[in-house]
Amino acid sequence: MGLLDGKKILVTGVLTEDSIAFAVARLAQLEGAELLLTGADRGMSLTERMARRLPRPTDVLELDVTNPEHPRIVAAAIAERFGRLDGILHSIGYAPDPCIGRGMLEAGWPDVATAVEISAYSLKVLASAFLPLLEAADGASIVGLDFDSTVAWPGYDWMGVAKAAFESLTRYLARDLGPKAIRVNLVAAGPIRTVAARAIPGFEHFEEVWADRAPLGWDVIRDREAVAKACVALLSDWFPMTTGEIIHVDGGCHAVGA
């Protein structure tokens, strides 16, 4: 019996086989879940390709979180297909070029607003649009992918600010959705070599430092599976009284000093 037997799960952000979202989708299927994926814009074709590489090929729905119509359309499609949602993986993030690798003084508000809207506010968009589907489940779970924002990271800049908003929003959504039996948690992963990570100037510095500091060690390729396991566990019924939490899957790096 799998951890997610009979669960209906929506996974966002699958772009390549290197992505954490793909690892979560793959493991979720192996643990018994029925999946739907979402993609957006130029990434749709990539998501559709990855959907065919899962253990059981699945459908992809178009979901641009900045388009007010898309969440409603996707919610209607899921209602027709599944009738409910037991879980959502939020793996959505983007920041325009001026927001990453250039310090904090260059980016203007339009670029910062884009980063915050897509990387943080989108969690609220999903929670609002899919609320009736989540309420129809017997206890639902929203899990977001995070990168620890308690310190300032080299090159991360305004994306770090967006992640701080993301973490705060998680706590407030946990407060508001808890009475509806919906849990909201984050998994703060160590650096994983993905398309998004390669967009961060100096990412290789993260790799070197993490491997040295993490008490359990850290592999920027293999340890995406450890992150996926944490996400699947949170999507399952094994954390029934945990919400508003940030689970670190980073080899313990967050817990030690230099």
Q: What would you measure as the largest C-alpha separation in the chain, in angstroms?
A: 53
Amino acid sitting at position 11: V
Distance CA 171, CA 123 (A): 12
Distance CA 172, CA 130 (A): 17
Helix (H, G, I), strand (E, B) or coil at 186: strand
Strand pairing class (182-189; 246-249): parallel
Distance CA 217, CA 215 (A): 6
Distance CA 171, CA 194 (A): 27
Q: Which of 156, 172, 180, 229 is catalytic?
A: 156
Backbone angles phi, psi at 22, to 5 degrees: -65, -40
Distance CA 125, CA 68 (A): 9
Strand pairing class (34-39; 60-62): parallel
Q: Which of 163, 172, 180, 229 is catalytic?
A: 163
Distance CA 148, CA 36 (A): 28
Q: Is 94 a catalytic residue?
A: no
Cross-strand bridge partners of residue 38: 12, 61
Q: Is 124 a catalytic residue?
A: no
Tokens of 62: 């178009």
Positions marked catalytic:
156, 163
